[in-house]
């Protein structure tokens, strides 16, 4: 399944620098607002040690990791909801993404201009929150105007329920909160709410961009962000984007690990960001492996076997018969499908099987 995360933030907070070290693309990184005008798109491989373990055993002709698309979107400014700066373009680009990576400047550097004159990540966060909330409020009010008459006549139950959802969103947005703070227990309501494509309903991750000395432990700015978002259902990540971009330039894994150890970090910001994105979007990975190919596939947690098969090809889901499943640890222990089968470690599962993270799958189907 395709996954797209949009990197957003005020100008000059380190968005393009982070994008560069994530994708190894080379978005222009300059010290002035609106450096990024067209959204840069980079496709990055998802690092997964399990895939390497499987490949060492199967010795395939090719190894294919799963990927995430990262979009570097132009910097937002106050008034974007009314079209200021690159506002309308920014909001259109962000609406197309699955999740938001909100970069906050948490470092001091007199050589890097701040669009508002001083470093204050909480204020910066609130500026973008407000602009997105105002745009969502405009969207909600327009939809209310369209469905209100249908809802009031009483004949259209769907319109009535949608109207109730919109009214809930309107109240929350007018109070200065984001749409994601509204929770719906009813699955039908969740579906209706999702189809509104509200900007502030998207899952969000705050990336605190720090200097190298703060990469391991954070700093006062990071502490302020943690306090400000403690009641949000959001991921927080501390990354030294400039340092990460230097690490990305190194050619070997050993060199990169040595650099990380020198600054006191166990794992690169790239790996941590992707892992956080997966948690944020409730995603997991299953594998297929053999002599031709060892491959990782992404699916939504809770997915049943036929729908997981459909991630490979729609025909697999349509003609699903059964799935043969091996747990990763068993495959690593016994070393092959046939050895796992002989040891009783291969299970045959039907349409109701819920796929587990790390499963090795082989689908039987007939179309």
Question: Is the pLDDT assigned to residue 239 strictly greater than 50?
Answer: yes
Strand 293-300 to 320-326 pairing: unpaired
How many Å is the Cα radius of gyration of the chain? 23
Residue 8 main-chain phi, psi, to 5 deg:
-125, 170
Question: Is the pLDDT assigned to residue 10 strictly greater than 90?
Answer: no
65-74, 178-187, 216-225, 294-303: the lowest-pLDDT one:
65-74
Identify the CA nearest to 91 among candidates 123, 44, 41, 138: 138
Find the distance separating the first CA and the last CA of the chain, reported in whole Å: 22
Question: pLDDT for 336-356, tens place per residue?
Answer: 999 999 999 999 999 999 999
Contacts within 8 Å (CB) and 24+ apart, 110-116? 111/31, 112/12, 112/31, 113/12, 113/31, 113/32, 114/12, 115/10, 115/11, 115/12, 115/33, 115/75, 115/77, 116/10
CA 98 from chain centre, in angstroms, equals 6
Q: What is the mean pLDDT of the chain?
A: 85
Question: Looking at residues 150-156, what average pLDDT do you find?
Answer: 71
Q: How far is Cα 38 from Cα 60, in angstroms, rounded to an integer? A: 39
Residue-level pLDDT at 170:
95
Residue-level pLDDT at 207:
94
**Under DSSP, is residue 235 helix (H, G, I), strand (E, B) or coil?**
strand
Question: Looking at residues 271-276, what average pLDDT do you find?
Answer: 82
Q: How far is Cα 112 from Cα 270, in angstroms, rounded to an integer? A: 23
The fraction of the chain above a pLDDT of 90, given in percent, is 42
Beta strands in the chain (DSSP E): 4-8, 40-45, 62-64, 67-72, 99-105, 204-209, 235-239, 283-289, 293-300, 320-326, 346-349, 360-365
Question: pLDDT for 279-291, tens place per residue?
Answer: 888 899 999 999 9
Residue 248 main-chain phi, psi, to 5 deg:
-65, -25
Contacts of 275 (CB under 8 A, 6+ apart): none
Question: pLDDT for 42-88, tens place per residue?
Answer: 788 888 889 999 999 999 999 999 888 888 876 555 654 455 444 45
> pLDDT band for position 27 (50/70/90)?
very low
Return the exposure string of 295-323: e unless at least 16 CB atoms fall within 10 Å of the residue's CB, then b: bbbbbeeebbbbbbbbbbeeebbeebebb
Higher pLDDT, 95 or 214: 214
Q: Cβ distance 3 to 69 under 8 Å?
A: yes
Question: Looking at residues 210-223, what average pLDDT do you find?
Answer: 90
23-32, 116-125, 199-208: the lowest-pLDDT one:
23-32
| Ramachandran region, residue 39 (left: φ > 0; alpha: ψ -120 to 50; beta: rest) | beta
Residue the block writes with tokens 């490949």: 55
pTM above 0.75, yes or no: yes
Is residue 344 exposed (0-12), middle (13-18) or buried (19+ Cβ within 10 Å)?
exposed
Higher pLDDT, 106 or 146: 106
Question: Is the pLDDT assigned to residue 274 strictly greater than 90?
Answer: no
Q: How far is Cα 228 from Cα 207, in angstroms, rounded to an integer? A: 13
SS (H, E, C) 251-299: CCHHHHHHHHHHCCCCCCHHHHHHHHHHHHCCEEEEEEECCCEEEEEEE
Higher pLDDT, 278 or 201: 201
Q: Cβ distance 244 to 269 under 8 Å?
A: yes
Identify the CA nearest to 124 among candidates 113, 114, 136: 114
Question: Is the pLDDT assigned to residue 112 strictly greater than 70?
Answer: yes
Identify the CA nearest to 285 among candidates 308, 265, 266: 308
């Amino acid at each position: 399944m395709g996954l797209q995360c949009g990197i957003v933030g005020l100008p000059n907070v380190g968005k393009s620098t982070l994008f560069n070290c994530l994708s190894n693309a080379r978005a222009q990184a300059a010290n002035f607002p609106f450096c990024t005008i067209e959204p840069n798109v980079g496709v990055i491989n998802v690092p997964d040690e399990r895939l390497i373990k499987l490949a060492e055993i199967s010795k395939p002709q090719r190894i294919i990791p799963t990927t995430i698309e990262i979009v570097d979107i132009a910097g937002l400014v106050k008034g974007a909801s009314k079209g200021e700066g690159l506002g309308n373009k920014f909001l259109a680009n962000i609406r197309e993404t699955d999740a938001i990576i909100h970069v906050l400047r948490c470092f001091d550097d007199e050589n890097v201009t701040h669009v508002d004159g001083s470093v204050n990540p909480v204020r910066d966060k609130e500026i973008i929150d407000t602009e997105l909330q105002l745009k969502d409020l405009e969207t909600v009010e327009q939809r209310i105007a369209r469905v209100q008459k249908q809802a009031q006549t009483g004949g259209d139950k769907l319109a009535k329920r949608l109207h109730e959802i919109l009214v809930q969103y309107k109240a929350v947005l007018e109070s200065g909160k984001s749409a994601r703070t509204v929770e719906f227990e009813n699955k039908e309501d969740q579906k209706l709410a999702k189809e509104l494509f509200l900007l502030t309903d998207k899952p969000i991750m705050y990336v605190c961009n720090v200097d190298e000395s703060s990469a391991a432990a954070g700093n006062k700015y990071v502490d302020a962000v943690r306090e400000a978002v403690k009641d949000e259902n959001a991921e927080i990540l501390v990354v030294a984007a400039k340092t990460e971009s230097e690490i990305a330039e190194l050619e070997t894994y050993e060199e990169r690990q040595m650099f990380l150890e020198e600054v006191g970090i166990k794992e690169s910001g790239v790996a941590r960001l992707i892992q956080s994105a997966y948690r944020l979007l409730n995603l997991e990975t299953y594998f297929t492996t053999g002599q031709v190919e060892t491959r990782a596939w992404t699916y939504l947690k809770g997915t049943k076997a036929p729908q997981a098969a459909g991630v490979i090809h729609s025909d697999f889901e349509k003609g699903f018969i059964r799935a043969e499943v091996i747990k990763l640890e068993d495959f690593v222990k016994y070393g092959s499908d046939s050895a796992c089968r002989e040891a009783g470690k291969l299970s045959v599962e039907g349409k109701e099987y819920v796929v587990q993270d790390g499963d090795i799958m082989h689908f039987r189907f007939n179309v």
